Chains A and B, each alone.
Chain A
Amino acid sequence: MVRLTTVELHRLVARRMTVIGVVGLLLITLLLLFATWLEARPSSAVEQRAAQSQYEIAHQQWVDGHVANEAACNEQWEKQPDPKPKREDMCSYPEPRPEEFGKPPAVFAELMPDLLHGVSYLLLFAAFLLGASFVAAEFSTGAIGNWLTFEPRRLRVYGSKLLAAAIGLVPVAVVVLGVLVVGTYLIVDQLGSTATTTGKVWGDLLATAGRAVVLTALGAALGGVIGLLLRHTAAAIGLAMGYLVLVEAIFGNLLNKVQPWLVRLNFEAFIRHDTTYYVNQCSSTSDGGYLCNSVVKTLTFERGAWYLGILAVVLVVFGAAVFHRRDINS
């Protein structure tokens, strides 16, 4: 099994599709860093002058009117029926500050989690594609028949392919995430603020990146299963796209109560360590009407992890059963 997995890893690395996929991922990562640099770089002198002038106008207005405004507001507050809102919520006129005008500085602790979440989707998609292509190519070229005349133990062959796809994509994910985190830190350190990057922030980022790596490996293995079942890369991608559009987008939106049972939300719950979603709760009112409210619900990390784990096990076992019994006629 170890030998077979090693051979499959060699094959994975030697594939042109893998090389193209990895280069593509690194290019996209560099583009993201470029976008971060554009976002973080300070405003031009003209923009800074415009912001300063906006601040001065706002400050002058505050100096001229905040006392009168507060008094008028207090008067209004007194007339409010009970229960009254808090006075400081209703009648607070804080003094404008210069940093509230113009482009806010980039903060690493705020920027990085969203970037990591975005890239984890990208990694999952790329891993699925490369895994599907890695296994499906053997069926579409007919090379699997030749392979089985060298190693007829099908479950070993199957296991080695999925393991190789999963293991092979781990360093790719680590490099992509590493380049992204280090690159973003260096950019923001120069152009924005990294002061709030505490040990806890680093810990959370590391945990998110770790989960992204796990999902990349899982995506590659499941891509392999789908590639094996459908025997063509294009069919595997078509199935994935069809699922995303028909089930996740259309069905999920029409019937939003099913969202916790769909892959995307569970993926989010796993990668973000809990996520929220909205459900419309409708009921009849006492005056004979019908009222719908949007209620926020939480899908926990544990739930997402269980869901993805069970889904992976079911698909892998199903793929094994199909491959074990399948006649290789090509």
Chain B
Amino acid sequence: MPELAISTRGLRKTYRTRLGRKVVAVQGLDLDVPAGGVHGFLGPNGSGKTTSIRMLLGLIRADAGTMTVFGRRVPAQLPEVVGRVGAIVESPKFFPAFTGEKNLQLLAEAIGVPRRRVGEVLEQTSLAERGDDRFRSYSLGMKQRLAIAATLLKEPDLLIFDEPTNGLDPAGIREIRETMRGLGNQGRTVLVSSHILAEVEQVADTVSIIGHGRLLSSGTVAEVIGGGTATTVKVAVDNHEAATRILAAAGMAVRADGNYLLVDGAGQPAEITRRLAHQELYVSELVPVRADLESVFLELTAEEKI
């Protein structure tokens, strides 16, 4: 079993609305995040991602369940590991009237990090030239970068990013994605929560999908995708009718899709080529249609009736 950066068992949190109605935000979440690499924490809006992250960081109290970060129980032993954890929860929150540098200096002083480290992380996040400007004057992308700079002050082993690309333009999204991938490549653990699946698919090594506060699926991206749907192959051939008959006779499921045939249950795609060529039908295009995370996600969450 790989070392775990985060583990939760039976994690539960309910809220009361202003009208007194009980809302279950997280119900018995079992989550394992392996140490090292990028772990996508996926779920639709309101599925309990942010609540789970807040519980892990000791910001809100769990009603039931256990949580560990690097083997330490949280929140009881959180002070022992908090120096190894950097986090941005939802939008970056700093003192708007202070400069970016002043905000970081206060945080650095609080954890006993030398002042020069502030300059280093500003440099790392390309904010050195705007460090003297007030936080309130920053663009959303700069605010996000300042939040990342704050997490880097501790040189953490675990970084938690909650919806880090919300509101960013494409260039900002790409920048954050590269930053996360870079951190993961350095051997740090990055937990990134998002409801934008294509984005996570590009950076994550492993993912967990939650819905209604419960874990629906977890594993490497390939495992999760493979477990969701069977592989389909897209075939271009001149004689659709004959090809359909030959492949169906071999036990494959065939359906038309415009100028192509979509074939399921072929096992190896080469089997399709072999059988058609044997009947003198020659394939001009053969493309395995991989299931993506989005289709798996929609499939899983549909089962949960989300």
Contact = CB atoms under 8 A, between A and B. Distances in A.
Interface of A: 3-4, 6-7, 10-11, 14-16, 137-138, 141-143, 145-153, 325, 327-330
Interface in B50-104: 54, 57-61, 75, 78-79, 82, 85-87, 89, 91-98, 102
Given A149-B87, A150-B111, A329 B96 contact: no
Given A143-B95, A146-B93, A150-B111, A7 B57 contact: no
10 contacts: A6-B109, A10-B109, A11-B95, A141-B94, A143-B93, A143-B95, A151-B110, A327-B60, A329-B59, A330-B93
A12 B275 CA distance: 79
A3 B78 CA distance: 19
B254 interface: no
A9 to B, nearest CB: 10
Contact of A146 (B79, B94, B98, B109): B94
Contacts of A4: 110
A325 B102 contact: no
A328 B60 contact: yes
B189 to A, nearest CB: 16
B57 A147 contact: no
Interface of B: 54, 57-61, 75, 78-79, 82, 85-87, 89, 91-98, 102, 105-107, 109-112, 147, 150, 154
Given A6-B109, A10-B109, A153-B79, A148 B57 contact: yes
B14 to A, nearest CB: 11
A5 to B, nearest CB: 10
A146 B96 contact: no
Contacts of A329: 54, 59-60
Given A141-B93, A141-B94, A148-B59, A3 B75 contact: no
Nearest to B160: A149
A145 B109 contact: no
B112 to A, nearest CB: 6
Contacts of B106: 7, 10-11
A7 B109 contact: yes
Contacts of B87: 149
Contacts of B94: 141, 143, 146
Contacts of A152: 57-58, 75, 78-79, 82
A141 B95 contact: yes
A142 B78 contact: no
A64 B306 CA distance: 107
A141 to B, nearest CB: 6
A34 B154 CA distance: 53
Nearest to A137: B95
A79 B110 CA distance: 85
Given A7-B106, A151-B82, A327 B59 contact: yes
A14 B54 contact: no
A4 B110 CA distance: 6
Contacts of A153: 79
Given A10-B106, A11-B106, A151 B95 contact: no
A328 B59 contact: yes
Contacts of B96: 141
Contacts of B54: 327-329
A21 to B, nearest CB: 14
Contacts of B57: 148-149, 152
Contact of A3 (B58, B95, B97, B110): B110
B93 A142 contact: yes
Given A137-B95, A146-B93, A329-B54, A151 B60 contact: no
A16 B87 CA distance: 28
Contacts of A327: 54, 59-61
Smallest CB-CB A-B distances: 3 pairs: A142-B93, A327-B60, A328-B59
A152 to B, nearest CB: 5
B19 to A, nearest CB: 17
- Most B-side CB within 10 Å, residue of A142, A149, A151, A325: A149
Chain A CB within 10 A, most for which of B59, B75, B94, B107: B59
Given A10-B105, A145-B93, A150-B154, 20 more contacts: A4-B110, A6-B109, A10-B109, A11-B95, A14-B98, A16-B97, A141-B94, A143-B94, A146-B94, A146-B147, A148-B57, A149-B59, A150-B82, A151-B111, A152-B75, A325-B61, A327-B54, A327-B59, A328-B54, A329-B60
Contacts of A137: 95
Contacts of A330: 93
Contact of B112 (A3, A14, A138, A141): A3
